[in-house]
Amino acid sequence: MMDIIAELAAVQRETGSRPLPNGEAKVVRLRRAYDAKIDDVWDALTSAERLNRWFLPVSGDLRLGGQYQFEGNAGGEVLECEPPARLRVTWFFGERAATDVSEVVVRLAEDGGQTVLDLEHVATVDPERWATYGPGAVGVGWELGLLGLQWELTGVEASMEERMAWGMSAEGRQLATGSSEAWGKALLASGATPEEAATATRNTTEFYVPPEPAE
């Protein structure tokens, strides 16, 4: 049985904006600590074999300048790779547009016997989509991914099918709901109105935790 309250408290969440040459970009940032050595966390983030276990199957060249593609998800280019401290990649779906500036930056730092992971996703976002979902559309997904990393680092074995089934379980739905609500609070703290935060929270929760079918 997972301690949902402790799991939600393990993640620090921030959101905001940053100017880019082609417009204003939204920033979604997560931070959490792992009881693992920094080299082990780095390996879990950059090894195709291990990414397949806790995130998604990945193909391509996972080296500086290489192109990668997650199965059924995003792909991009490795822009920076500084073991075991910093990884920066482009992140996009389908054919990359000339205006695509979506990037993911991961920083690792040792803190006592733990490793602190800091993940930042920077992207230009359609204003209507941001008004609908806020940071939760991206934030909840990354948060669930970082839970998978926690399982990998602690030796929890779960197939893709088992992980998806867990996500639809009562426990998984509770975690996703709590994460959505936490991202709504982060949006509010960034300067959004209570109404904007409530709308984004409601829509994000409905996306990740759809109503269960009537029996």
Domains of the chain: 8-208 (3.30.530.20)
Closest CA relative to residue 66, chosen from 45, 85, 52, 80: 80
Cα four-point dihedral sign 52, 55, 61, 63: negative
pLDDT of residue 211: 85
Closest CA relative to residue 81, chosen from 42, 53, 51: 42
pLDDT of residue 214: 60
Closest CA relative to residue 8, chosen from 161, 143, 189: 143
Question: pLDDT truncated to tens, each residue of the chain (215 aa)?
Answer: 789 999 999 999 999 998 876 678 999 999 999 999 999 999 999 999 999 999 999 999 999 999 999 999 999 999 999 999 999 999 988 765 545 568 999 999 999 999 999 999 999 889 999 999 999 999 999 999 999 999 999 999 888 888 889 989 999 999 999 999 999 999 999 999 999 999 999 999 999 999 876 66
pLDDT of residue 19: 81
What b-and-e string marks burial along 29-47, b requiring 16 or more CB atoms within 10 Å of the CB?
A: bbbbbbebebeebbbbbbe
Distance CA 140, CA 136 (A): 5
Instruction: Name the phi and psi angles at 205, rounded to 5.
Output: -60, -45
pLDDT of residue 17: 92
Closest CA relative to residue 64, chosen from 39, 89, 42, 47: 89
Distance CA 77, CA 86 (A): 15
Strand partners, 80: 88
pLDDT of residue 94: 72
Whole-model pTM: value is 0.93
pLDDT of residue 148: 94
CB 29 within 8 A of CB 14: yes
CB 76 within 8 A of CB 91: yes
pLDDT of residue 157: 86
